[in-house]
């Protein structure tokens, strides 16, 4: 809202530099976003909160200043000469009629009429005021309606009475499909939810939103019917939104204008009109008011101790009284409830004690309230957050950069990954900002992979990213998304990343996370990794899924990134579920201080035997004193027959109470070799 300083001075005699005015207003809730100079005037751009429609007019802002600076608000002049009859001898009632069909939506309608208007240009002062706040001067009548709108915050509309068919005003619902031509030149098809102002044959205004072009006043209009009304906020907003027709008028009505303001603004208009033009105003007012609309609200009790409890500062009684009276509140008007206040008609936002306490605090200065420290408290550590933090540190320490991608996804490039590993259809977003973000993501990987592409396209050769975030799944019988915390990581490199070593690298991240969360211990060996099929979105043969017990809780593998050289590997874990398996009970375990004996084994074995088969056999052999089995290398090539591979691993033996002899270890290893030969057809190499 643009506010002219000179204009404000009509209402309150401010004698302060403009910066001070701006600061005082800012610190009482009217944030000044800018000051412009206009000749001898300054225009302040004020940010008005949605609860304060009274600030959408200069007088409302001036009232705030009067209270802040403790100076009086000038009275508003509303008087003007009246005539009982027009030149044909008709009274107001005989000249025109007003019928309100829908009092729910039009709570109050007032119409006054001026006749025998002699054409005259808008005076200089009026034009200057309007131009200063960014409005165009059109003609005297329109300029005055705009002036009163910007002065009092009450929208007015002037009809050329000679263009109103049947000289009647009917406030009714539009017919479905009824056409309306607005003043701004736009054309609209109305709906039965829209409220219109009509004459005997057509809609002449869209109630509270905009007047019609067919009955607008012009420079030589001689008879004016001035509408000043109160429309229900919600329907005005709905019509304005649906027709995408916003105006200064709808902006105010949808925030709820002052119910008493309709009459005052109308009289103010005619006061100014009579000063500026030769005209006759018919006495009386064509008016309808919904029952009870004008009744003041219930008295509101304000307890000094409650005020002190909320603000943290005792405010003197006389200061409380001064502030509230200045803002238009009336103390105990009928003497029945001492210490109680009635809110003025323009403060529909004030209905409770807390609303008045806010007023007191706001004017007194919320920023001036003395600081008070709270008593000290300690906070227990959040175990789940702690585990998440450890996992993130691990990813950071292994060279991954933490990323932040949108929670929205699309049925795009990597949808197969989501379809395969995240059970259930995605949740659909009704109004996505980007067309390709029409669903909630089920996996972090698609978003992360497109960031990888972005980086690679920008020439970053090696990209390691990770993210911990929520994904949104569907579960039968649950009528809202199941939110899970996932961890995803990717490594994409132009060269040098391929084959078993690349798989082992991304898999190594998963293994480290499982180890860190001590999942294997917690789950007593129910952790397995299994090959994934080709429809998983990952490249079959080099990708695997993690199962803990019967739950699938992760995937690792490689993907095709079209147009990107080298290889891209990735993984994702259902971190939230894994953390649930973690035991926090960490205890020391005694270890043997005896020397260990290591034996390297290199076997040649059929290609279809997996490492898991070998490790299972080793475990099943229950070798005496075996401490550890470690995979070393896998090789296919010249010295290995077709359809076979060479696998190297080592075994560490250690006894708890003595040094092992080489002989006994060799004997144990020999047992294993025989077992592998027999059960897996393995051949010892070299």
Partner 1 sequence: MNEGSSRDLDSLELDALKAIESATDASTLEQVRVGVLGKKGSLKGILRNLGTLPVEERPAFGARANVVKQKVEAALTDARERLGVDSSAGSNKKTAVAGADVTLPGRQVLRGSRHPVQQVSARMIKIFGNLGFQVADGPEVEDEWHNFTGLNIPADHIARDPSENFYLQDDLLMRSQTSTVQVRVMEGTPPPLRIIAPGKVFRPDTVDSTHSYMFHQLEGLVIEEGITFGHLKATLLTFFQQLLQDDGMKLRLRPSFFPFTEPSAEVDLYWRGKWMEMGGCGMVDPNVLEAVGVDPEKWTGFAFGLGIERVAMASFNIPDIRYFTENDVRFLKQFS
User: How many Å apart are CA 577 and CA 563, to the nearest integer?
Assistant: 35
Question: What separation in angstroms does the CA of 259 have from each of 206, 262, 422, 664?
Answer: 19, 6, 57, 101
CA atoms within 13 A on the CB side of 7: 26
User: How many Å apart are CA 680 and CA 265, to the nearest integer?
Assistant: 98
Token pair listed for 327: 């803002």
Q: Does position 427 bind partner 1 by CB under 8 A? A: yes
Q: Which of 88, 187, 318, 431 binds partner 1 (CB under 8 A)?
A: 431
Q: Which is nearer to partner 1, 3 or 224 (CB)?
A: 3
Smallest distance from partner 1 to CB 228, Å: 24
Binders of partner 1 in range 476-535 (CB under 8 A)? 480-481, 483
Binders of partner 1 in range 50-79 (CB under 8 A)? 50-52
Q: Does position 354 bind partner 1 by CB under 8 A? A: yes
User: How many Å apart are CA 519 and CA 501, to the nearest integer?
Assistant: 24
First-to-last CA distance in the chain? 89
Neighbours of 578 (CB within 10 A): 26
Q: Which of 293, 316, 385, 478 binds partner 1 (CB under 8 A)?
A: 385
Smallest distance from partner 1 to CB 512, Å: 13
Q: Which of 82, 138, 285, 369 binds partner 1 (CB under 8 A)?
A: 369
- 113 phi and psi, to 5 degrees? -130, 135
H or E element at residue 99: strand 97-100
Q: Does position 593 bind partner 1 by CB under 8 A? A: no
Q: Which is nearer to partner 1, 337 or 407 (CB)?
A: 407
Smallest distance from partner 1 to CB 272, Å: 32
Q: Which is nearer to partner 1, 6 or 577 (CB)?
A: 577
Q: Which is nearer to partner 1, 440 or 578 (CB)?
A: 440
Cβ 538 vs Cβ 417: under 8 Å: yes
Cβ 526 vs Cβ 548: under 8 Å: yes
Smallest distance from partner 1 to CB 381, Å: 9
Q: Which of 90, 290, 392, 636 binds partner 1 (CB under 8 A)?
A: 392
Q: Does position 406 bind partner 1 by CB under 8 A? A: yes
User: b/e per residue, 317-337, with b = 16+ CB within 10 A?
Assistant: eeebeebbebbbbebeeeeee
User: How many Å apart are CA 179 and CA 171, to the nearest integer?
Assistant: 16
Smallest distance from partner 1 to CB 555, Å: 21
Q: Which of 185, 335, 397, 637 binds partner 1 (CB under 8 A)?
A: 397
- 192 phi and psi, to 5 degrees? -70, -10
Cβ 479 vs Cβ 549: under 8 Å: no
Q: Which of 124, 318, 336, 373 binds partner 1 (CB under 8 A)?
A: 373
Q: Does position 371 bind partner 1 by CB under 8 A? A: yes
Q: Which residues lie closer than 8 Å to 500 by C-beta, 6 or more apart?
A: 634
Q: Which of 76, 82, 429, 621 binds partner 1 (CB under 8 A)?
A: 429
Total length of the chain: 686
Token pair listed for 674: 């025989």
Binders of partner 1 in range 284-313 (CB under 8 A)? 308-313
Token pair listed for 469: 């975030």
Q: Does position 404 bind partner 1 by CB under 8 A? A: yes
Smallest distance from partner 1 to CB 28, Å: 6
Q: Which residues lie closer than 8 Å to 458 by C-beta, 6 or more apart?
A: none
SS (H, E, C) 641-652: CCCEEEEEEEEE
Task: Tell how far CA 185 is from the center of its chain.
Answer: 34
Q: Which residues lie closer than 8 Å to 198 by C-beta, 6 or more apart?
A: 169, 170, 171, 172, 204
Q: Which residues lie closer than 8 Å to 125 by C-beta, 6 or more apart?
A: none
By CB under 8 A, the count of residues binding partner 1 is 81
Q: Which residues lie closer than 8 Å to 294 by C-beta, 6 or more apart?
A: 108, 259, 260, 345
Smallest distance from partner 1 to CB 437, Å: 9
Q: Does position 638 bind partner 1 by CB under 8 A? A: no
Q: Which is nearer to partner 1, 483 or 666 (CB)?
A: 483
User: How many Å apart are CA 446 and CA 413, to the nearest integer?
Assistant: 8
Q: Which range binds partner 1 by CB under 8 A, 170-178, 400-408, 411-419, 611-619?
A: 400-408
Q: Does position 357 bind partner 1 by CB under 8 A? A: yes
Q: Which range binds partner 1 by CB under 8 A, 161-169, 204-212, 337-345, 378-386?
A: 378-386
E strands present in 461-566: 462-473, 482-493, 527-531, 544-548, 551-559
Smallest distance from partner 1 to CB 146, Å: 25
Q: Which of 301, 362, 474, 599 binds partner 1 (CB under 8 A)?
A: 362
**32 - beta bridge partners?**
46
Smallest distance from partner 1 to CB 310, Å: 6
Smallest distance from partner 1 to CB 9, Å: 24
Q: Does position 355 bind partner 1 by CB under 8 A? A: yes
Smallest distance from partner 1 to CB 468, Å: 9
Smallest distance from partner 1 to CB 35, Å: 15
User: How many Å apart are CA 538 and CA 554, to the nearest integer?
Assistant: 12
Q: Which is nearer to partner 1, 191 or 287 (CB)?
A: 191
Q: Which of 88, 318, 378, 525 binds partner 1 (CB under 8 A)?
A: 378
Q: Which is nearer to partner 1, 172 or 251 (CB)?
A: 251
Smallest distance from partner 1 to CB 296, Å: 21
Smallest Cα–Cα separation from 4: which of 137, 150, 144? 150
Neighbours of 200 (CB within 10 A): 12
Q: Which of 236, 395, 514, 555 binds partner 1 (CB under 8 A)?
A: 395
Q: Which is nearer to partner 1, 393 or 616 (CB)?
A: 393
Q: Which range binds partner 1 by CB under 8 A, 92-100, 220-228, 266-274, 431-439?
A: 431-439
Binders of partner 1 in range 235-294 (CB under 8 A)? 237, 241, 254
Binders of partner 1 in range 159-198 (CB under 8 A)? none
Binders of partner 1 in range 454-483 (CB under 8 A)? 454-455, 458, 460, 463-466, 470, 472, 480-481, 483
Q: Does position 139 bind partner 1 by CB under 8 A? A: no
Q: Which of 184, 396, 551, 633 binds partner 1 (CB under 8 A)?
A: 396
Q: Which is nearer to partner 1, 163 or 516 (CB)?
A: 516
Task: Tell how far CA 632 is from the center of its chain.
Answer: 52
Q: Which range binds partner 1 by CB under 8 A, 277-285, 354-362, 547-555, 666-674?
A: 354-362
Q: Does position 314 bind partner 1 by CB under 8 A? A: no
User: How many Å apart are CA 594 and CA 592, to the nearest integer?
Assistant: 5
């Amino acid at each position: 809202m643009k506010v002219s300083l000179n204009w404000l001075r009509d209402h309150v005699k401010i004698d302060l530099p403009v910066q001070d005015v701006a600061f005082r207003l800012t610190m009482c809730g009217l944030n000044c976003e800018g000051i412009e100079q206009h000749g001898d005037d300054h225009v302040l751009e004020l940010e008005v909160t949605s609860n304060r429609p009274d600030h959408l007019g200069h007088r409302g802002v001036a009232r705030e200043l009067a209270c802040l600076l403790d100076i009086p608000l000038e009275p508003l002049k509303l008087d003007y000469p009246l005539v009982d009859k027009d030149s044909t001898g008709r009274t107001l009632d005989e000249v025109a009629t007003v019928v309100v069909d829908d009092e729910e939506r039009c709570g109050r309608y007032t119409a006054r009429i001026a006749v025998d208007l002699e054409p005259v240009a808008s005076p200089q002062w009026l034009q200057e005021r309007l131009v200063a706040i960014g409005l165009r001067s059109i003609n005297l009548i329109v300029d005055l309606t705009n002036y009163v709108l910007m002065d009092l915050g009450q929208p007015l509309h002037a009809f050329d009475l000679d263009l109103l068919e049947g000289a009647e005003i009917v406030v009714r619902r539009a017919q479905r499909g009824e056409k309306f031509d607005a003043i701004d030149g736009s054309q609209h098809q109305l709906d039965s939810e829209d409220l219109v102002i009509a004459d005997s044959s057509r809609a002449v205004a869209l109630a509270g939103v905009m007047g019609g072009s067919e009955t607008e006043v012009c420079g030589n209009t001689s008879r004016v019917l001035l509408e000043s009304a109160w429309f229900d906020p919600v329907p005005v907003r709905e019509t304005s939104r649906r027709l995408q027709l916003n105006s200064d008028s709808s902006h105010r009505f949808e925030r709820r204008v002052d119910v008493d303001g309709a009459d005052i603004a109308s009289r103010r208009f005619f006061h100014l009109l009579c000063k500026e033009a030769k005209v006759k105003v018919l006495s009386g007012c064509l008016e309808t008011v919904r029952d009870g609309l004008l009744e003041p609200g219930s008295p509101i009790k304000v307890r000094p101790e409650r005020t002190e409890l909320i603000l943290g500062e005792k405010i003197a009684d006389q200061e409380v009284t001064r502030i509230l009276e200045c803002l238009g509140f009336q103390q105990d008007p009928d003497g029945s409830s001492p210490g109680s206040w009635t809110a003025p008609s323009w403060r529909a936002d004030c209905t409770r004690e807390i609303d008045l306490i806010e007023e007191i605090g706001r004017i007194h200065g919320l920023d001036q309230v003395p600081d008070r420290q709270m008593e000290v408290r300690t906070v227990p550590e959040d175990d789940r957050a702690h585990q998440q933090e450890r996992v993130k540190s691990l990813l950071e320490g292994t060279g991954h950069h933490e990323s932040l991608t949108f929670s929205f996804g699309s049925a795009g490039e990597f949808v197969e990954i989501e379809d395969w590993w995240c059970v259930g259809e995605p949740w659909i977003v009704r109004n996505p900002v980007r067309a390709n973000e029409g669903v909630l993501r089920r996996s972090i990987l698609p978003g992360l992979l497109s960031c990888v592409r972005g980086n690679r396209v920008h020439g970053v050769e090696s990209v390691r990213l990770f993210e911990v975030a929520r994904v949104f799944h569907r579960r039968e019988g649950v009528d809202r998304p199941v939110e899970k915390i996932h961890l995803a990581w990717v490594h994409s490199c132009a060269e040098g990343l391929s084959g078993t070593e690349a798989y082992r690298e991304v898999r190594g991240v998963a293994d480290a996370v499982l180890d860190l969360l001590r999942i294997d211990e917690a789950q007593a060996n129910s952790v397995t990794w299994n090959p994934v099929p080709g429809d998983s979105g990952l490249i079959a043969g080099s990708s695997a899924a993690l199962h803990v017990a019967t739950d699938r809780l992760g995937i690792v593998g490689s993907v095709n990134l079209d147009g990107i050289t080298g290889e891209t590997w990735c993984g994702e874990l259902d971190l939230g579920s894994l953390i649930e398996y973690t035991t926090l009970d960490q205890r020391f375990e005694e270890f043997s201080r005896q020397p260990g004996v290591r034996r390297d084994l290199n076997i040649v074995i059929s290609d279809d035997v997996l490492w898991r088969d070998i490790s299972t056999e080793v475990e099943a052999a229950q070798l005496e004193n075996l401490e550890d089995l470690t995979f070393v290398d896998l090789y296919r090539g010249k010295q290995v027959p077709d359809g076979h591979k060479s696998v190297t691993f080592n075994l560490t033996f250690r006894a708890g109470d003595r040094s092992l002899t080489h002989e006994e270890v060799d004997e144990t290893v020999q047992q294993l070799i025989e077992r592998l030969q027999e059960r897996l057809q393995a051949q010892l190499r070299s």
